[in-house]
Amino acid sequence: MKKVKAFAPATVANMGCGFDIMGMTLNGVGDVVSVEVSEGDELIINNVSGVELPDDIEKNVITPAVRALMAAAGMKRKIEVTVEKKILPGSGIGSSAASSAAAVYALNEALDRPFSDERLVEFAMEGEKLISNGVPHADNVAPAILGGVVLLRSYEPLDIVRLPVPEEFCCTVAHPEIMVSTAMARQVLPKEISMHTAVTQWGNVAGLVAGLTMGDIYLVGRSMKDVVAEPHRKQFIPGFDQLKEEVLAMGALAMNISGAGPSVFALSKNMQSAANIGYAMEKHFKELGHNADIYVTKVSNIGAQIIND
């Protein structure tokens, strides 16, 4: 019998223009999952986090991720997974991804590391597939496992590129008490876009990657604009346009929807600015009748990691 505990961080997917292909890691908030491996052939998932999760194991994102890893390993074991700390589902900061990432990271360690971190991303993607109408995207699970800012250059085959994180790269995330499911957020997206819209988005993605590579946070800010998903998803977020105008006037480099929402995030060049923007975001949502959790942090280069009690 072997028991391993792992932490996987919260993440911001898309980063504005990088729909399904970019994501970044947040510092200090995430999921803690324990995995115990013993002889047998069974999967058990316990939830002691205090956050409500599906009672049906087949609807838990951890299930397909763990099964994919074990199938690739070609072995059968009794695996007991315990979710100890959980980001609120539907928060828009990679709740499902953190669970899948922590579970496969801990399981891989318990099995004496048969797989690379990049391969673990593939297994964790199966959890995302479960909740995203069959779309196995990696813009949350890749940064949750690898850390930093991640670009998914290709899905077939999976080609992951880690991009440098500028030293002064601070992030404010506001999670209003509103539920927006990933499936619902995908349903409102257009099936086709115009060539003009596509060219605009391509230019922004290229500028975002160039800005990160050069450490030019102002180029990052100018490029972090989404003309594909944001115009359709902002309807779920009360006062989105007003809030964006306000935080940009306060000096934010950019503000966008985090993943499918309802969380929004803003980038700043220092922690003081990020904290001030956090106060403004909290005030905005409170005035509209919604409490909001605020996270003020630097973008982290550290992904999933083993916890030693």
What b/e string do you get for 242-276 counting C-beta neighbours within 10 Å, with b at 16 or more? ebbebbeeeebbbbbbbbbbbbbbbbbbeeebbeb
Residue among 11, 82, 182, 297 flagged as catalytic: 182
d(CA 141, CA 137): 8
Residue type, 254: A
Q: How far apart are CA 10 and CA 93, in angstroms?
A: 5
From the list 36, 128, 230, 282, the catalytic residue is 128
Q: How far is CA 6 from CA 17, 32, 68, 99, 124, in A?
A: 31, 6, 18, 10, 14
Between CA 237 and CA 243, with CA 240 as vertex, the angle to 5 degrees is 135
Assess whether 182 carries a catalytic annotation: yes
What is the token pair recorded at 41? 């052939």
Tokens 């956090």 found at: 278
List active site positions.
128, 182
